[in-house]
Structure 1
């Protein structure tokens, strides 16, 4: 599959080796990759606009007011009233958002040949996600409003703590109770590949008792792996696409990267950094939402910020805030991905395997980007930067390094 060109000890050309990989993505494949990823930039804006529109419609037609009134007729306690209001809000919001969700999650993915599911299978999974949302979100929202009632001005600080606790619980339970609702997880079979992953994990004291394979090929062809969970639920997972579409060198390189996330405590740090941004967002809501309610509350039937009918008002402010905060969220993730890339290269010592894996991700990630574009929109380093990092590691660490030119067509889906 790969042709080794001249041996290049001290004279290994990092830039030439990088271009050799990048030039394997040409023509229609590159145009499709670029168009799909660049279209995602607009989805950030249009997605926020769609969310604001849904919340505005709920306010404009007095639905939030009716949800709250129904809650007051059924229940006496504020917590229960808020819970029912949030339940109806979540359900109606899902229905109103469905056309946008169908376009972004099904139609567009099909247009770019990135989804293998039928519409029936896709909507089935969407309904499972809705059921989970109806089970969890109304309770979470009811707790947030209890905090708001307790401290109408300073609730945002306590609310940030509630969000943090919620995220910690979700991180712990998701691998065991949520992920299996969408995919089947089985232990990676014994053999040389498992032994190599276990040995690499043991070298860095990463728990590797549980290594799972999940059947994501039923949804799409994208390669993926992760270290998920918290405490006793920590597990290493890789999808069947990674096993079936890539070489052992690529799999080991990807798993080295994922082990890096665990070893570098990225889960804890990511939650900490994201909570900082979320806390600022809740502070903005605590100031902007009361102003909107004073100005338009009578028209919407919203009394004050402690009124659960104000939920769409909070949603509008958060939608705009999170859209503007997208680069901050992206940079938190991308910095950690850079660190995991460096760790993975040292752990796996498979620079060409990592370069090939980075190239495969070009199916849905634009391979090259300018610095501003990458700063604003990329949650991971660009494929170009990842390949160049791999080739630089190779030049620095592999004696008599040789440049490898991938054969044409190796990126084609299998």
Structure 2
């Protein structure tokens, strides 16, 4: 039975990979609708022929890697179960220490290590791809350092989860998922509070904006929206990437707007102010807190479904998967696999909400700055720097895009321009 499950899993993954290869490279059409040709949203108007070719090539390969990586994680956890490796991890942990907490840590480190090794090739391919297309400027040692930081942060998080969740499972077989969710609320808020001051600085250096003239302009813009501009930071990303970015992070007193130095180096003050107005909109409309509430709601539903699925799977295929009981630590790969599947399945919903919020932020920036040229040229430069498709395939947009497409964003500004002109006439 275990062999059949493994075989079916590998066949399903192969067919899935084949489908997305065909979809991305042969079926999907990324050309612009006729009515947008020649507009400022048309990449042919702001990218040269080589940039157009590279953006199509890079986007297709990058999107394929995205669609391959998450289901590969599911296949990995399935193999860990059916081969008895999860059993072996527990056995090695039991032989290493008599203390339960230490045994849990040893089990988790083995699972984390095998996951790191299994997913490393795809991670390296993604890194090499971005290097070859001149998106990444990061050296291999620097990249490996970030990978190792990811590993230890992932291990630490996983250790906390497995310790708490399986303790709750033993205390309450039926309601553990509800108690786990209750504990996840303060934990999530605590991590988000620490993110800007503890976790992010592990990867890069953050400091207040250096350009004092630009800072004065941002202060003036921020005062219109009643936003504490002392929360604007820049980060040294030029040693790692040529891409441009700005984002909102943290909650409470640790909340801040972050600008990559690549953004500061390549965009004009007017373009940066447009980006700042966009990020300020997230503060004004409380998007961060709405996002947290949405995440917590989805996690409640997700944990309930996970609990029900784990019970059903263990009752039906527990012997084949070498899981004697749901509350046995050997079921942890199954727990992670189901959660990952549910997150992937729910990503169209979370991305839809995110695209709506980002669209609202774009409208806010347009109304606040009244600088449509800066908005359009900013989005054009973002497309050029990241070699991103202006009009990506539908499935890519649904599963990958937390922002509106560049076609939608630039077209929105052009429509605003037309509306403003007609009102003046």
Q: TM-score, normalised by structure 2?
A: 0.83
Q: Is the Cα contact below 8 Å between 1:352 and 1:391 reproduced in 2?
A: no
Aligned match of 2:408: 385
Distance 1:112 1:163 in 2: 40
User: 1:113-153 deviations in whole A, cap 9, x for unaligned?
Assistant: 21111222211211122122223321133122223333322
Mapped to 2, the partners of 1:245 and 1:91 lie a distance apart of: 39
Q: 2:217 aligns with which of 196, 210, 223?
A: 196
CA offsets per residue over residues 45-94 of structure 1, 9 Å max, x none?
Answer: 31122102221232233221222234445566655543442233222211
**Structure 2 CA distance, aligned partners of 1:322 and 1:178?**
23
Q: Which residue of 1 aligns with 2:254?
A: 233
Determine the C-alpha separation between the residues in 2 that align with 1:373 and 1:121: 29
Q: For 1:351-362, what aligned pairs fall within 5 Å after superposition?
A: 351-362=372-383
SS in 2 for 1:45: helix
User: What does residue 226 of structure 2 align with?
Assistant: 205
Q: Which residue of structure 1 lines up, in the alignment, with residue 121 of structure 2?
A: 99
Give the unaligned 5+ runs of structure 2: 1-34
Residue 58 of structure 2: aligned partner: 36
Q: Distance in 2 between matches of 1:66 and 1:371?
A: 43
Report the counterpart of residue 55 of structure 1 in structure 2.
77
Preserved CA contact (<8 Å) 1:214 1:237: yes
Correspondence for 2:11? none
Instruction: Note if contact 1:86-1:308 (Cα within 8 Å) is conserved in structure 2.
Output: no
- Is the 8 Å Cα contact of residues 273 and 332 (structure 1) preserved in structure 2? no
From the superposition, tell whether residues 271 and 125 of structure 1 become closer, same or farther in structure 2 (CA, over 3 Å).
Answer: same
Residue 406 of structure 1 aligns with which residue? none
Answering whether residue 325 of structure 2 is matched by residue 304 of structure 1, we say: yes
Residue 157 (structure 2) aligns with: 136
Please name the residue that 1:410 is paired with.
none
**Paired residues of 1:50 and 1:100 also in contact (CA < 8 A):** no
Q: Give the alignment of 1:330-409 within 5 angstroms.
A: 330-362=351-383, 363-369=386-392, 374-397=397-420
* Contact 2:56–2:389, Cα closer than 8 Å, also in 1: yes
Q: CA RMSD in A?
A: 2.7
Q: Find the aligned partners of 2:49 and 2:43 in 1 and give their Cα distance.
A: 15
Moved more, 276-285 or 371-380: 371-380
The residue that corresponds to 1:217 in the other structure is: 238
1:217, CA displacement in angstroms?
0.7
Aligned 8 A contact 1:253 1:348 in 2? yes
Secondary structure of the residue aligned to 1:209 is: helix
Paired with 2:319 and 2:292, the residues of 1 have a C-alpha distance of: 38
- Contact 1:368/1:382 (<8 A) preserved: yes
Aligned to 1:122: 143
Distance 1:144 1:39 in 2: 37
**What's the secondary structure of 1:18's corresponding residue?**
coil
Q: Which of 294, 299, 302 lines up with 1:278 in the alignment?
A: 299
**3-state secondary structure, aligned to 1:216:** coil
Aligned equivalents of 1:371 and 1:46: distance in 2? 17
Using the TM superposition, name which of 106-115 and 236-245 deviates more. Answer: 106-115
Higher mean alpha-carbon deviation, 35-44 vs 252-261, is at 35-44
C-alpha deviation, 1:398, in angstroms: 6.9
Structure 1 residue 337 displacement after superposition: 0.8
User: Contact 1:37/1:364 (CA < 8 Å) preserved in 2?
Assistant: yes
Query: Which whole-Å CA distance do the structure 2 matches of 1:229 and 1:382 have between them?
Result: 25
- How much has 1:22 moved relative to structure 2? 5.9
Taking a change above 3 Å as real, the CA distance of residues 34 and 280 of structure 1, as seen in their structure-2 partners, is farther
Gaps of 5+ in 1: 1-12, 402-414
Query: Is the deviation greater in 345-354 or in 361-370?
Result: 361-370
> Given the superposition, is the C-alpha separation of residues 34 and 190 from structure 1 closer, same or farther in structure 2, using an over 3 Å criterion?
closer
The higher relative CO (CA closer than 8 Å, separation ≥ 6) is in: 1
Q: TM-score, normalised by structure 1?
A: 0.85
Q: Displacement of 1:266 after TM fit?
A: 1.0
- 1:160 aligns with 181
